[in-house]
A = this chain, B = another copy of it.
Amino acid sequence: MTGRYLEDFAVGQIFHSGPLPINEERIKTFATEFDPQPFHLDEKTARDTIFGGLVASGWHTAAITMRLLVESDLRPAGGIVGAGFDEFRWLRPVRPGDALRIEAEVVEVRPSRSRPDQGVLKVRTTTLNQRNEAVQVTVGNLVVPRYPKSSGQESTQE
């Protein structure tokens, strides 16, 4: 797997993805498997709920965000491996016909103390719809490998 190592990242870098449309049929099939609630399954029933109409499951939005992150120009060596989030919010519902894209900003680059071969990349990922409204914001921690060291050299920074 090729890609960027920890040393290739710097605070303030922003990575992008193209837009991905989300349609009514896929909203319903995703929800049938993972989030079978009326506001994700049926337009008519959804009108009488807090959302006032059919909306995608937040987990569908989160999963699409992951897809967009994989397709973006972020490309850490070793893949996108998440440990968890400092922040995770859904800001607006996603509705049939919306198209989502992401902006991923590097907010911290931190070598690991216990694992000299890797570090943590903290990334704020904003998922936007076709009106450039943020629908989801996360601040996540990715495990990213460091450049392999030349052998026989001891680091003094562990």
Per the bound structure, the CA–CA distance linking A35 and B70 in Å amounts to 7
Q: Which residues of B contact A49 (CB under 8 A)?
A: 1, 78-79
Which of A36-44, A101-109, A122-130 is found at the contact surface with chain B? A36-44
Task: Tell me whether A85 and B88 are in contact (CB under 8 A).
Answer: yes
In the complex, A45→B59 CA distance in Å? Answer: 27
Q: How far is the CB of A28 from chain B (nearest CB, A)?
A: 15
Contact B66 A34 (CB under 8 A): yes
- State the copy count for this chain: 2
CB distance from A63 to the nearest CB of B (A): 4
Q: How far is the CA of A35 from the CA of B143 in the complex (A)?
A: 16
The interface residues of chain B lying within 8 Å CB-to-CB of A62 are: 59, 62
Let me know if A59 and B70 touch, CB within 8 A: no
A70-B39 CB under 8 A given contacts A83-B89, A83-B90, A85-B88: no
What is A's interface to B at a CB cutoff of 8 Å? 1, 30, 33-39, 49-50, 57-59, 62-64, 66-67, 70, 78-85, 87-90, 143
Q: Can you give 24 A-B contacts (C-beta < 8 A)?
A: A1-B49, A30-B63, A33-B67, A34-B66, A34-B67, A35-B67, A35-B70, A36-B67, A36-B70, A37-B79, A37-B80, A49-B79, A50-B78, A57-B63, A59-B59, A59-B66, A62-B62, A63-B63, A83-B90, A84-B88, A85-B85, A85-B87, A85-B88, A85-B89
